[in-house]
Chain A
């Protein structure tokens, strides 16, 4: 699809030729994830996580459709249909439910690694800005889907999560409260909210699948990036997706699915909250109310505004929380450095790891009960998050002197027959090669 040397689809079987001439579906698949898609030959394991995210989306859709066959979306029946019927009575229901619960967490784990891969290797830079932005749209849809799914069992955390998250909208002046009531279909979460959340929770994964197709389509125009960030220049720089990357993705997917199985079978509730095994009670809020772990950094940003400053503290918190994701849409223009890969950007690299630490701190603060020092830590970490993207990144990209780049991908991985054959440590570094740069 992307390079002139990409192999065209040649049907081997007459049946496939017949089909290809009428509906070129085999051609599409061959060009997208088959031998017809040339991929840089130097990808490291961080490039496996996009495929993994696709696998977990599939797992969620399959287990979700099956769970919906046994679930009642009523305020009286929802809790019992999940915790009684599905967990105890439906054949293998416990497995499907735990697979769906932990599948959501693993979907977020692999997606976060995928996003940070993009941040480190500059995957958001030209010509892949739209790939990045479509990815952020997928991420926002994932968050909406996960939130609504968490409401469905109608436990205490479900109910109060729905109350708090729809409460975000009441922060906006004038339209806020009517908007909240309109979203809930009532003054507090109740039957109307549960039914519409179920409807949307069923719909959104298919919307995600649609945006995933756009994400991959946009990616396949320039082709995949690579750890050096250097453009593909010749056929020597690439390998066909199949069999090379199907094999690599295949074994790595098996490895990650093993970790997923370990959590699903041996610690299925580790990533959840015990309070969600208490039926929803609209008259009592759990003492320690926190969202699921994948929302903790954003919850920390929300909670870090405690005093009014021009606008009410509540509105600041909500704006900052939404802003922390929306600003990522502007990343291609905030980081103007022409060097994509963080491996060749000595200053950027250090700040990247500081950002990772910052987000981990935000996650910790967001998940823990509030006290004075955690509030202060959360405020510092929230401020640093915005400073990183709005101040540090533009300055670094203006003043940093990047390390020399390899002249080509193949040069960075192939050192030539002489170098390959020589005893270790007895080769001279080649000029301008990655061997000196890394």
Chain B
């Protein structure tokens, strides 16, 4: 491998500085590194284009009128293209939810933690099963509420209680409570 150029460079005239690296190594590494970083940077737009676009994010808030929902009833609405369950709990359902000890829950949360202060009867959750995303039954009149009186997911049999907490079946989490606030006693803004 000893080329004429290399053999001409004696140990005393080498440009390695004694640490084993040659100037040519730098010339080899620098453009490859430059091209590598550039290629990775060029990939960025190809990756970020997959994330939710501005028009999808523009649907981030939804206002709903809850004045017509009587105790024991619920409505299904949409937020960010996902179903939302708004349920006006009866005193009996609230009592049932409060009677459960947290130690029995897979994802321990009290009903008070899942509702707003002063609005404990308004249970607002996503209607998206935390297993694989089906819409559970139980919000409409006459639908199967499951053995815990909340929601029942027909896809894989997850059962939720009156505070929409997971009680049985494959789902790992309670139905998600979105960010929301009461704009007035009868209007809720989700998101």
Give the B-binding residues of A (Cβ under 8 A): 160, 163-164, 166-168, 170, 181-183, 185-188, 190, 192, 196, 282-289, 303, 305-306, 308, 312-315, 317, 370
Contact = CB atoms under 8 A, between A and B. Distances in A.
Interface stretch (B24-32, B49-57, B95-103): B49-57
B50 A283 contact: no
B51 A181 contact: yes
A305 B81 contact: no
Interface string B41-61: 000000000111100100000
Interface of B: 50-53, 56, 76, 78, 80-83, 106, 127-128, 130-135, 153-157, 169-172
Contacts of A305: 170
A160 B134 contact: yes
Contact of B52 (A170, A185, A285, A287): A185
Contacts of B135: 283-285
Contacts of A308: 106, 172
Nearest to A311: B172
A267 to B, nearest CB: 27
Nearest to A283: B83
A406 to B, nearest CB: 51
A170 B172 CA distance: 11
B171 A314 contact: yes
Given A167-B132, A182-B51, A314-B172, A282 B81 contact: yes
A188 B81 contact: yes
Nearest to A180: B133
B172 A186 contact: no
Contact of A303 (B50, B106, B156, B171): B156
Contact of B154 (A167, A187, A289): A289
Contact of B134 (A163, A166, A314): A163
7 contacts: A167-B131, A168-B132, A170-B133, A181-B52, A185-B53, A188-B133, A308-B172
Contacts of B128: 188
A186 B56 contact: yes
Nearest to B172: A312
Contact of B132 (A164, A187, A312): A164
B55 to A, nearest CB: 9
A314 B131 contact: yes
A381 B78 CA distance: 40
Given A167-B133, A186-B52, A306 B170 contact: yes
B169 to A, nearest CB: 7
A166 B82 CA distance: 14
A285 B134 contact: yes
Nearest to B77: A283
Contacts of A313: 170, 172
B51 A282 contact: no
A289 B153 CA distance: 11
Nearest to A317: B170
